Amino acid sequence: MTEMTEFSPPARTLSRRQSEARMAWLFSAPALFLLVVFLIIPFIMAFWFSFTDQRLVPNLNLPTQFVGLRNFVRLAQDETFRRAIFNNFYFVLIVVPLQTSLALLLALLINQKIKGVNLFRAAYFSPVVVTMVVVSVIWTFLYNPGEGMINQFIHTLSLGRLGPYDWLESTTLAFPSIMLLSIWQGVGFQMVIYLAGLQDIPEQLYEAAQIDGANNVQQFFYVTLPQLRNTTIFVVLATTILAFKLFTQVWVMQGPSGHPQGSTMTTIVYVVSKGFKQGKIGYASAMTVVFFLIVLAVSMLQRTFLQEERAVD
C-alpha cells in the first residue's frame, strides 16, 4: 500500500491537470462549435441532399423525393462538370509549382540583409491582404483590350507590333490570365512561410558548407532545400487546396457561365450556378460530394508521396 502511494500522482497534480483540461475544452468550444455548424453539419446535409431532388425554394406541389444515385449518374454524363474538373486540375498543375517556386525565390531575395528590405517585404505581401473581389475587379480593368495597362505596356514595348489582346474573351488566353492574377495575389502568403523557414535554418550549417568549399548554388541545394522540406510540404498542400477552391476570380471576371465557351468553368463555379442560380440543390450537392472526395484523394496522395520521399532521403 505504501509503494502505490509513493508512485501515485499527488491529488493536487490531478486537480491541476483536470482544471487545465477543462480550460482547454472551454477555449476550444467556440472553434469546435463553428466547425460543427459551418463545416460538419453542412457536409452531412449535402451528402443527404445528393440523393434527393432537393430544390432551393421548396414547392408544396413538388415535394422533395429520394432519387438514389440519379444525380451521380447524371454527373457522369455531364460534359460541363467534366470540363470543370479538368480546369481545376489544369489550374493546380500550373499554379502550384509556379507559385511555390516564385514564393521561394522572393523569400530568398528578401531574406538578405540589405537596406529597405522591409519595404520590399510589405510590397510583396500587400496583395494578400486585399480581398480577391477587389483584385479581380482591378485586373479586369488591367486586361481591358482597349485601354488596359497590360495591352498598353505590350504595345509600347513591341513598338506597336503586338496587341491589343482580348485577354478575358479569348478561349486560349482567359484561363492563363486568371492564373497570372492568382499567382500574383497569393504568392506573398507562401513567401512569408518560406521566409520564416529560411530564418529558422541554423547559420552554422552555412558556415560549415563554406568551410567545405561549397559555393552559393551548392549551399542552396544541399543546405537550404533540405532544411525547408517540412515548409515545402506545408506550402504545396495548402496551395493545392486553395487552388482547387478557385471561384472568386472566375465569378467576378467571367460570370457563372465560365465565359468564353466554358473555358474558365471550375467546379465551385458550376456548383454555385446549379445550386443557387438554377435552384438544383440536390444536383449541386452531388457535385460537392464528388469534388470533396477528389480533393481528399489528391491531398492524401500528395501527403503520402512527400512523406515517402522524405523517408527515402
Average pLDDT over every residue of 225-233: 90
SS3 (DSSP) at 165: coil
- Our measurement of the distance from residue 284's CA atom to the centroid of its chain's CA atoms, rounded to an integer in Å, reads 21
CA distance 221 to 212: 15
pTM, entire model: 0.85
pLDDT above 90 for 62:
no
Could you give the domains of the chain? Answer: 2-49 (no CATH), 72-312 (1.10.3720.10)
pLDDT above 70 for 312:
no
Mean pLDDT of the chain: 87
CA distance 258 to 245: 15
Segment (H or E) for 85: helix 79-110
Per-residue model confidence as pLDDT tens digits over 248-286 = 999 999 877 767 788 899 999 999 999 999 999 999 999
Measuring CA to CA, which residue among 254, 97, 245 is closest to residue 174?
A: 254
CA distance 61 to 12: 66
Sorting pLDDT into bands at 50, 70 and 90, what band is 2?
very low
Measuring CA to CA, which residue among 47, 97, 114, 41 is closest to residue 243?
A: 97
Measuring CA to CA, which residue among 297, 299, 291 is closest to residue 81?
A: 291
* DSSP code, position 51: T
